[in-house]
Amino acid sequence: SAYTYNPVDSGLFTVSSKLTDQNFPELFKALFTEVEKVLKHGITWTELKKAVINISSEQFYSIETVDGIANKIGSEYFYLDDTKAYEKYLAKIQQLQPKDIQKVAQKYLDINKTNFSILNNKSKTEQIACLKEGLKIWKQVKKSPVPNVEFTDKPIKMPKIKFSAPPKSSETQIEFYKTKKGTEILFKKITDTPTTSAKIIFGGGSRLETSAQQGVTEMLTRIWPSATKTKSEAEYLTLIEESAAGLNSFGGKNTNGLSVEYMKPFEKIMLDLTTEVVTEPVLSQDIFDREMDVLKKQILSKQDNPSYLCGRQFLQMMFPDTVMSYEQSGTLETLNNIHLKDVEKSFNKFKALGNMQVAVVGDYDRSRWIDAVEKMENSFEAKGRQLKSVPISQLTQNKQQFMKKDKEQSHVMIGWNGVSLTDPRRYVLQIMQAVLSGQGGRLFIELRDKNSLAYSVSPIKMETLETGYFGGYIACSPDKVTKAIEMFKDEFNKLTTTLISDEELQRAQKYLIGQNDIGLQRKSSFCNMIAFDHFYGNKIDDNLHVQKIYNAITQEDVRKLANDLFSKNYVTSIVGRE
């Protein structure tokens, strides 16, 4: 990757890379060949257009929040004495030509003014020799003919991307629209910046997997979207990059879907592409094989991670033989059972009428979105909601498992059955979590500050359709594990017998209200909230006016829920030394 650092004084242009040691010569040759192409031949208008669009998008996304606005205005006033410098910057970069980039490259990408650095496990002598070899390769590349780029003589028209004052009423109420075939589309107009965030949600996720094929959902998110019937993977990625947009899939325990982000000038391009990846995707065997290899390597890298192993062991005890304990990425054993046809089967199953919901937030064309969703519906062959419920048994006894790992730290998770993601008591549980968490929370103060038990300590929580869990996590010295577990139980038991203080309640309420309001400034966060709340059957209005809910919670509400949870059986997962 390449990046710039531009302080008041002289700055930096840096290229960085991660690689295996044996690939250094190939890296140096490829890198310096590209540098010499720019120095000798310049860049294309297409490359310039892509760069201008991506830089422009960063300017808009950086001012979605008041924090972003304050940072931009404050820093530019401090450095440039101009609170609207970013608007002028945006106008200036759209006037650039390829020759301007070449001129700057020739000034700064000078072989005699370049610094090299390296970090690996080799000796200093070997490192210096490697860097000298890199310099030698650059000199050789300079002397060799460098192939010219495909140069477009005629300038490409840059899209008009500029800041403009929003209309007086830049927000509307949430609109709930239903197509003739029953798909719900949630629309929320916010036009303060020319950007849009959307979510296309399908019920399914890991609930469509079997125990023997854990990881199907993860594999699907890695190979879809990519190629379509009319576009290769490379063409698909190029189109996304040239539009400074985002089109990515997601998959979890309950859902699959697509996240879409784009700027107003590229709405038609992105909606056409989004429609195409839903209606005419190509799930390629080559891409499947490549991503399967990457996923297996990532799983291998986690096998010696004690915190990961502790969490996995915890879920297997808490929710044995259910989708809640499935490994999202799969295991080496289950991945060997998965083939491309299994991923295609899962994809075609959740792509069904009655199983899709769409949410669109931002500066969008409503009719275009309705047309796109109707085209998606018309391609569906299956019918029916795929968000199937699974039976979950409550813990009938306390459970504890220990996994031996010769590590400096031991990792401990202790937890009780919690609440579901539609349970109204989830807000009370969030208050309880806030009381326990943070440097001012009970767990940090009691287990770390007062008793020096922890390297890291925090409450843990998960909510699913049927149930959830709540408890605590700690990383500590092996000789402190027993005391840490007892102190966890003491702290949770205190919540069942003694009311939290007024100060703790108010601190938790203010923190949660603030975090919610800050998060909803971003269109993507707002879109996520309304999309998933509505999909799961929660009231959207609750999170839009969550201060009423939090402020209505009492100390007795917290004590009552604590008693309901912590008076029951629990599980303890330990990974570390004996």
Measured at the CA of 399, the angle between CA 478 and CA 304, to 5 degrees, comes to: 45
Laid out side by side, the sheet with 468-476 consists of 399-404, 570-576, 410-417, 468-476, 454-463
User: Does residue 165 sit within a domain?
Assistant: no
Residue 278: what are its φ and ψ, rounded to 5°? -85, -40
- Is the model more confident about 9 or about 406? 406
Higher pLDDT, 534 or 73: 534
Do 365 and 267 form a contact (C-beta atoms < 8 A)?
Answer: yes
Strand, helix or coil for residue 147: coil
The residue segments making up the domain with residue 242 are: 175-383
Residue 494's nearest CA partner among 563, 427, 397, 570 is 563
Same-domain status, 431 and 482: yes
Same domain, yes or no: 378 and 488: no
* 390 within domain boundaries: no
Phi, psi of 263 (to 5 degrees): -95, 155
> Smallest Cα–Cα separation from 171: which of 357, 358, 361?
361
Q: Verify that 412 and 363 share a domain, yes or no.
A: no
Instruction: Give the up-direction half-sphere exposure of residue 136: CA atoms within 13 A in the CB hemisphere.
Output: 9
**Contact indicator for 475, 410 with CB cutoff of 8 Å:** yes
- The string of pLDDT tens digits covering residues 245-293 is 999 999 999 999 999 999 999 999 999 999 999 999 999 999 999 999 9
pLDDT (0 to 100) of residue 205: 95
* 3-state secondary structure at position 120: coil
- Tell me: do 315 and 433 sit in the same domain: no
Instruction: Assess whether pLDDT exceeds 90 at residue 85.
Output: no
Q: Which of 323, 353, 383 is the last residue of a domain?
A: 383
Stated as kind and residue range, the H or E segment containing 276 is: helix 267-279
Alpha-carbon distance of 291 to 299, in angstroms, equals 12
**Residue 164's pLDDT band (cuts 50, 70, 90):** low
The answer to the question of residue 18 being in a domain is yes
189 and 266 in a single domain? The answer is yes
pLDDT at 442: 94
Query: Quick one: pLDDT band at residue 333, thresholds 50, 70, 90?
Result: very high
The answer to whether residues 278 and 238 belong to one domain is yes
Residue range 516-568, pLDDT digits in tens: 999 899 999 999 999 999 999 999 999 899 999 999 999 999 999 999 999 99
Q: Are the CB atoms for 452 and 444 separated by under 8 Å?
A: no
- The CATH number covering residue 536 comes to 3.30.830.10
Domain membership of residue 53 (yes or no) is yes
Q: What's the rounded Cα separation, in Å, for the pair 134 and 26?
A: 10
The reply to whether 23 and 104 lie within a common domain is: yes
Q: Are residues 179 and 305 in the same domain?
A: yes
The answer to whether position 218 is within a domain reads: yes
The verdict on 435 and 557 lying in the same domain is: yes
Residue 174: pLDDT band with limits 50, 70, 90: very high
* pLDDT given at position 555: 98
What is the per-residue pLDDT across 364-398, written as a single tens digit (0 to 9) for each?
A: 999 999 999 999 999 999 999 888 888 888 899 99
Pairing of strands 175-178, 184-189: antiparallel
Query: Any idea which residue has 């990792």 for tokens?
Result: 411
Q: Are 227 and 282 in contact (CB under 8 A)?
A: yes
Average pLDDT taken over every residue of the chain? 92
pLDDT at 167 over 90: no
Per-residue confidence (pLDDT) for residue 163, from 0 to 100 = 61
- Distance of alpha carbon 529 from alpha carbon 237, whole angstroms: 28
pLDDT(20) > 80: no
* Residue 87 confidence (pLDDT) above 60: yes
- Please name the residue that has the structure tokens 């003694």: 498
Whether residue 161 is contained in a domain is answered as no
Look at phi and psi of residue 174 and say left if phi exceeds 0, alpha if psi is from -120 to 50, else beta.
beta
pLDDT bracket for residue 79 (50, 70, 90): confident
pLDDT, mean of residues 323-340: 96
Complete DSSP assignment for 505-535: HHHHHHHHHHHHHHHTTSHHHHHHHHHHHHH
CB atoms within 10 A of CB 81: 8
Of the two residues 131 and 414, the one the predictor is more confident about is 414
DSSP string, 314-366: HHHHHSTTSGGGS-TT--HHHHTT--HHHHHHHHHHHSEETSEEEEEEES--H
Residue 358 has a pLDDT of 99
- Element holding 250 (H helix, E strand): strand 246-251
List, in order, residues 6 or more apart from 283 with CB less than 8 Å away.
Answer: 223, 224, 340, 343, 344, 347
Residue 187's pLDDT is what? 98
pLDDT band at 18 (very low <50, low <70, confident <90, very high): confident
Concatenated DSSP letters of 177-212:
EE-TT--EEEEEEB-SSSEEEEEEEEE-GGGG--GG
- C-alpha 58, offset from chain centre: 17
Give me the mean pLDDT over the 452-460 stretch.
89
Residues 403 and 506 in one domain: yes
Distance CA 330, CA 26 (A): 34
Average pLDDT over residues 132-137: 90
Pair 112, 203 in one domain: no
421 SS3 class: coil
For residue 439, pLDDT over 90 is answered with no
Spell out the residues 6+ positions from residue 174 whose beta carbon is closer than 8 angstroms to its own.
Answer: 186, 187, 188, 530, 540
The pLDDT-based confidence of 168 (bands split at 50, 70, 90) is low
Residue 470 domain flag: yes
Q: Phi and psi at residue 522, in whole multiples of 5°?
A: -85, 135
Q: How far separated are the first and last CA of the chain, in Å rounded?
A: 44
**What are the tens digits of pLDDT across the range 461-500?**
999 999 999 999 999 999 999 999 999 999 999 999 999 9
Rounded Cα gap, residues 84 and 165, in angstroms: 13
Confidence of residue 39 (pLDDT cuts 50, 70, 90): very high
Residue 162, domain member (yes or no): no
User: 530 with 186: CB under 8 angstroms?
Assistant: yes
Domain count, the chain: 3
Across 1-10, 326-335, 343-352, least confident range = 1-10
Are 336 and 409 in a shared domain? no
